[in-house]
Structure 1
């Protein structure tokens, strides 16, 4: 267990780094158009407010209620709610998704490295090297990994701008329905929401805090800052590609560490733990299906958020989450509950339809 000083800055710092790394790796490889389009960024800001913020509060409230990590907590939460054990699937989907996300980060980083610096080496070979390094990093104490990831992210931003990254001017384009899907993916999946990562990293802090806002708002603002930073970032030469690859390895190692901790708390055999982690990461080594995996990554992440919204909004007892939230005003809780019960499911389902619609 981390001490109180570390527990306060660790979740928002992790939110900043993880959001930046996932967006930088995911956006170029999934066709998400975010090329300084002012209208798209305003749409993204809307999704951050009406979708990401309620999910962020949801994770912190469940952390306060359960006092353990997501995978372990679902057993207790479903019993408290007298709910079907099928809802525990959300925890398993998240626990397996975390190493799958790590594989996606490393695979797409290998693609960027291949295009910008190492064109003579096959992307799947580069991916294997990065993946092995990330597994090694996963054994470093978490607070040090967060610091190293932060150094990598900041160095990536400095290197990209110092080497004359050419960015287009801000401009306005016409919005279409498919962009809702892209904005929602950036707000939820690319920010790591719904995976229990902020739930897990905030556990030491939330036990001593009387209100969920003290943990949720810093995480949410850190995610906003990460995407704002990404608006001034592009890999256009070898050095930024190398530096970003370092940040990606650190970030992937960090979340692999957290995934392993969740699996350990379920008291799975070591062989099963490593089988899940290795299979989820190295599935990305097959170059022919990486494009399919990028789509699966987006849809899988959205489905996890949808399940949590339905469970918290419609299955859990009202009194449980009201106490965990501890809002200063009852109206704030009612607004949050409406967002989780109605706005989130409708918004996520619309995003899933939009993502699938891009395939046809």
Structure 2
């Protein structure tokens, strides 16, 4: 089949690996000018380890494993440790689960993509028109093309989802929080390990032992109307949310927000949909079932979803049957992953000082 994959990050690369390996003629388009970089450490966990083995990338993922931030220390305003959380013991499904840098996982997947898969960057999808046997994709500045299947792997703010399924607000469920990330937070490089400081409804965490220090500032808030492409507006939201917080290293972290040129900001949200296919358009990864930043399962779900989609296409007698099978097999993985996120938010940044104290006491050894 001729297959268009929209999105060149973890979900899109995973789809390119497995669909290309099956002999499909795959084209991947990405709105960015090149392969996206950024993000922090991510996990490959549970069922995704089997997927990685099937893709032929498990050994490379193992070799890229990082051991930083294995203990998360909850500190007070003076930096004194009030409790410690051993991530391997409390979060991972098994000792085999792997943490590695997101950029490294993207490199590993990209190296496994078959050579005849076509990548086109700086490409903007503008429309999708379907008939009984194909999908016509329209672009900005390029003639339309026909495909047998279109795979939307373009993330939380998916263009494919908006075009084929409806407005973002119909499917994006805000979980009451926002998060900002700064990579290379060098004012905080004197720290070690993972340090977490809370005031009610807000959290600063510093992952100091990554290859470069990463600061995360998250805060509870109802839905905010902002332009997710306007970085300066996003910085202002974080600066305002922490304006009255002076404890621990918050001033240093806010200085990093003001100065950085790699700022990431988004809602803590889940994508919840009754189904992930519409005709011959199907969603994989965050575009269809993003479990939220705090689940730790986004990359794993993207890899599993790509594998299950490819397997269904190989084994069923029609595209329609394959997409139904994909949805049926993928649903339990999504439900389990999405349930994790709500628990994670409650202990990562409690809404009250009493909640912070109780959390710290529970993890005090």
- What TM-score do you get using the length of structure 1 for normalisation? 0.27
Structure showing the higher helix proportion among its residues: 1
- What TM-score do you get using the length of structure 2 for normalisation? 0.27
Structure showing the higher strand proportion among its residues: 2
- Of structures 1 and 2, the one scoring higher in RCO (CA 8 A, sep 6+) is 1
Q: Which has the larger radius of gyration?
A: 2
